[in-house]
Chains A and B, each alone.
Chain A
């Protein structure tokens, strides 16, 4: 398969199950919502070292937020259910509670599986906190020096998918970056999906473990490193001098597949030789995103097992 002269490899991206929340941050204006969201999602590129993966999903207009103020929607994922509340609580506690004018709401209110977030954070109020029930949901008012911080008591916990990916194999580093930026531009703001790496792009795609250093969780993907073409088992076609990767996490399979379709299409441009994907022979995760099926419009390729139910949108 070729799109505008770019080959789409007959392979698949292999993804795994994650657990996630959608955090809605509102503030007096877009500036302060962004300030808080950028801190909340800082150092959250990969579970390998960050314990969680998080990024801005999209910006919200006042008509889309619970309190009628400008907002930001953030998705945060962890590898397991147990660590999810801990990561969310520590990040909201340090980056949203502390940020002027913000309030914090659950973006998955219809999910029955709930985790307590505002409930433990309320204790910052040292007994002066107060709760309010509004529309069947409990909110905590935590007194702070600025005034009050408002946070919802519980957040919906979603079964998500992590590790959707594709690799852009290009003739030059400039062409790879241009294509990757175009892909990120096409995928940004799509519901239910985040790109947790800087600018949505990864330059240091990894393989599991290491050949030389024992104990490494991950090390450089030498098969796709152009400087190692002559001395390592390379997977690079002739003429490829730079590779960039896009990694996606999402609330469900279809959201990721749709974003990959948009992103790959945007990346098929001059200077790109081919698009491929990272997989581990099907051993890592049950979710397989077959590039050619996706680019043919088949977005419902069922995962092998444990298919997550689509998460409700706000």
Chain B
């Protein structure tokens, strides 16, 4: 048993590989030879993990990935526990359908990070491309639990159709919270157009301003008590730079999307 398992890329990937075998909870009971024999997928062809990565360590729920991993997709898919540390940037669908544990990406992530995630935490130090915390193609629900933190900017349609959970980004592209069922999207800077369109019961928190869609109606300006709790939770758990003026500040509440059931909301912080 090792403190951690380190997977070091042997040489840069020429083609994208599907690496949903890499999940720390599944490595907990495996020796290094068994880990090396796990399949990675190049289309319909498989390749042994050990042929792509040098495997150092065994039987641990802490896994580190090293190298240029931007063509490695699906890492941490359905993981239920343990810690996955990605030293650099990662490809698409990192943490897709994960149910527990923690993924820390030191660089940026591709499309579909944390899609359909149900629990645990996914922290991306850099940027994330489109559909963070969104739904798998054709699925009715996006993330249903857990926390996603994108310290940089996120692309289009982040949190689309999300059902539950907390998604924090510094900035987001167009269509954030598209068709959102419930859950929370918190953005500390710019929010692209069309945020919250089709929102049913979800909350979009705009700390840096927002263009409110016409299908939302202003309700009041107040201090949402749950927001103090949520922002304090994010600040203490993820060391986010949220100040007391935001924690306990005034927010404009817009109800919407009134083209839907209208139980969702956009909370826009009023800087004083």
Q: Identify the A interface with B (CB < 8 A).
A: 66-69, 103, 130, 132-135, 139, 141, 147-150
Contact = CB atoms under 8 A, between A and B. Distances in A.
Contacts of A150: 225-226, 229
B76 interface: no
A141 B85 CA distance: 36
A205 B220 CA distance: 53
B263 A147 contact: no
Interface string B212-232: 000000001011111011101
B248 A68 contact: yes
B14 interface: no
B233 A103 contact: no
B223 A147 contact: yes
Nearest to B230: A134
Contacts of A148: 222, 224-226
B172 interface: no
Nearest to B264: A130
Contacts of A66: 229, 232
A67 B224 contact: no
Nearest to A140: B226
A152 B221 CA distance: 24
Interface string B126-169: 00000000000000000001000000000000000000111000
Given A66-B232, A67-B232, A68-B232, A134 B226 contact: yes
Interface residues of B, number: 23
Contact of A132 (B220, B226, B232, B244): B226
B222 A134 contact: no
A133 to B, nearest CB: 6
A147 B226 contact: no
Given A134-B226, A147-B225, 9 more contacts: A67-B228, A67-B229, A103-B229, A130-B263, A141-B226, A147-B223, A148-B222, A148-B224, A149-B225
8 contacts: A68-B247, A103-B225, A103-B229, A139-B226, A141-B225, A147-B220, A147-B223, A150-B225
Contacts of B229: 66-67, 103, 134, 139, 150
A132 B229 CA distance: 10
B240 to A, nearest CB: 14
A238 to B, nearest CB: 60
Contacts of A147: 220, 222-225
Nearest to A104: B225
Contact of A134 (B220, B223, B233): B233
B77 interface: no
Given A130-B263, A133-B165, A68 B226 contact: no
Closest 8 CB pairs of A and B: A150-B225, A67-B228, A147-B222, A67-B229, A103-B225, A68-B232, A132-B226, A135-B233
A69 B226 contact: no
Given A68-B247, A69-B228, A130 B201 contact: yes
A132 B227 CA distance: 10
A132 B230 contact: yes
A266 B263 CA distance: 57
B237 interface: yes
B263 A69 contact: no
A132 B228 CA distance: 12
